[in-house]
Amino acid sequence: MMFGRVNSPVNFQTTKQKLASLAGLIWMVGQPAIALPLAQMSLAQRGVPLKPPVLPTQTSQPQNLQPQNLQPQNLQPQNLQPQNLQPQNLQPKTPQPQASTTVQQYQAAGVTFSAPAGFSPLQPLGGETVGIIFPAAAAQTRHVSVRLADLSPTARGIASLSPRDLAEYARFNFFGISNPPQQTQTRRFLGQSVTGDILMQSNRNGGTSYIEFYIVPLSEQRQVAIAFEVDTELPLSLLENTIKTVTESLRELPSKKKRR
């Protein structure tokens, strides 16, 4: 019995389906909207990690936070010092008199004393007083003055007055000071402590004067009244320097009896 090889019949239907599927796949790959997902799926299937697209980065520091903008103009060192605090602006607008360190000698009311240079010669200064003023030509303007009055026992019968009554009497009648004292002040005259009065009074220049008034005991029951005065528009240091010079240099003159 003879056997021969039998060929299987070709399944044309299956082959046709495969070709159609392959053609469809080729068409899909050619489409842009489908090609990228398929390519990505292919890369994922192969284990290749997908990298996200790199986007351009922008600075996260806005313009107003740049270092040059963090120091505003009004914080610059030159702006931290206001114009009205500049040393040249702290000085008075009008020139102020300045007492010199040199001194001048005076003699009046039974005493001799020195005063800073720039004071006037000795002259009558109202009432029964004599004295000096600074600046020398400032009698009708704001000034510093030192006025003195001799309170000898024979002067208007003042020997019987108490120290307080004598001070009030001398202030009003000799110096024309009518305001009551506001407080007291103690200074050294002729090696002894003397307590005087501090007063404020209107002056003839339309301002206000600060006054220190003292009665200094001398020998033989004599006394001298001294008033230191400064317009309050002037620096008080001018008066303080004057008082210091006068009190440190004050000396009693020999009485007329001793001179004989």
Q: Which pLDDT score, from 0 to 100, does residue 162 have?
A: 87
- For 164: left if phi > 0, alpha if psi spans -120 to 50, otherwise beta; the answer is alpha
**Which 3 state secondary structure label does DSSP give 22?**
helix
Q: Exposure of 144 by Cβ count < 10 A (0-12 exposed, 13-18 middle, 19+ buried)?
A: buried
Which residue is listed with tokens 């009004």? Answer: 74
Q: Are 71 and 65 in contact (CB under 8 A)?
A: no
Q: Is the pLDDT of residue 136 over 50?
A: yes
pLDDT tens for residues 55-71?
A: 555 544 445 545 555 45
Residue type, 218: L
pLDDT tens column, 145-157 = 999 999 977 666 6
Of 231 and 137, which is predicted with more confidence?
A: 231
Helix (H, G, I), strand (E, B) or coil at 64: helix
> Percentages helix, strand, coil for the chain, rounded to the nearest 5?
35, 25, 40
Angle 111-185-99 from CA coordinates, rounded to 5° = 60
Is 227 a residue whose pLDDT tops 90? yes
Residues 6+ apart with CB under 8 A from 243: 187, 212, 228
**Distance separating the N- and C-terminal Cα atoms of the chain:** 195
Q: Quote the DSSP letter at residue 4.
A: -
Note the pLDDT of residue 5: 47
Confidence check: pLDDT of 81 > 60:
no
Q: What is the pLDDT of residue 20?
A: 60
Note the pLDDT tens digit of each residue in 166-222.
999 999 999 999 999 999 999 999 999 999 999 999 988 889 999 999 999 999 889
Banded model confidence at residue 14, pLDDT cuts 50, 70, 90: low
Q: What local confidence, expressed as pLDDT, does residue 87 receive?
A: 39
What are the boundaries of each domain within the chain? Answer: 103-255
Percent of the chain with pLDDT over 90: 45
Site of tokens 């909207």? 33
Which letter does DSSP use for residue 83 in this model?
G
Closest Cα partner for 146 from 70, 237, 245?
245
Q: Considering the chain, what percentage of its residues have pLDDT values greater than 70? A: 57
Alpha-carbon gap, residue 227 to 239, rounded angstroms: 11
Answer whether 249's CB lies under 8 Å from 114's CB. Answer: yes
Global pTM value: 0.60
* pLDDT band for position 72 (cuts 50, 70, 90): very low
What pLDDT score does 139 carry?
A: 64
Is 103-255 CATH 3.40.1000.10? Answer: yes
- Write down the H helix ranges in the chain: 12-30, 32-45, 77-80, 87-90, 163-173, 236-249, 256-259
